[in-house]
Amino acid sequence: MTITKTLGEFIIEKQAEYPDATGELSAIFAALRLAAKIVHREINKAGLANFSGSAGSENIQGETQQKLDVYANDRFKAALSARGVVCGLASEEDDEYVRFDDSLNQQSKYVVLIDPVDGSSNIDVNVSVGTIFSVYRRVSEIGTPVESEDFLQPGIAQAAAGYVIYGSSTMLVFSTGNGVHGFTYDSSLGIFCLSHPNMTFPDHGQIYSVNEGNYVHFHDGVKQYIKYCQVEDKKTDRPYSSRYIGSLVSDFHRNLIMGGIFLYPASSLHPLGKLRLLYECNPMAFLAEQAGGVAISGPDARVLDINPTELHQRVPFFVGSKHMVKKLERFLREFS
């Protein structure tokens, strides 16, 4: 067995490169790592532990909450509040942001936004799901209760972002603004080991990921791009392969490694888009750009530049290999 660097060792090594680092961000990753291990354990025994199926409630978007959504939300919230290094948390599963009001947490300069289980409906059929997280430095005064302005920041202001994918193996992939690195969980040792250093998007790929069942509801630019992907052209290695899992983390992770583009456009059914800007699009856009990819919400609309107006804001989302996203952008502009 090859001995490699653990997540903890990697974080300590990187922290040493920044003399002004206080260790708070490292403690946040320790909390995320712990909660991810717990969720990993429950996902791997979901059928036995009765974690599949609906929890019998809805989130603020009117979506049915799965039992795993509620469980994971509680675990991540508890792990982050217990460390005393996060002053507040906003979750896709909660109506409002949560203040961690004890004096230690209020002294923290960070807030966390999280989608506890992305693609949770897939757990019933044993398909990969994930956790998406985003970390910001608060803008309100340290020592005071956290405010909404601390969460409503553009994605470019993120201090860190990442995801955990629970699949054939569990991986934690993250960036603190200096490249993207992936760590695979070794359950026999209980540690995340560096397995994918300096992950980058191929400039081009042969995969497009979109729910084509909604094709008739898409706008013309997206329809024309999908047709372009399907037309044979040996010079550009088309047609491309259609691969869509229905879990943003899973589709993004495959395209990051193999090259490709993920599309979740606005439609006549969802004129503003469906994916959440703060919990899904911003962290994935941050990772994409750190890995040499591109993320847009429309022609000339960089996701990371969007100024949020509400916690559960939705936007169209296109992310992936640089040349593929740029080609899509031309179609969106031409057929707008």
Which residues contribute to the annotated binding site? 92, 115, 117-121, 211, 244, 274, 280
CB 326 within 8 A of CB 294: yes
Binding residues for substrate, by number, are: 118-121, 211, 244, 274
Binding annotation for Mg(2+):
92, 115, 117-118, 280
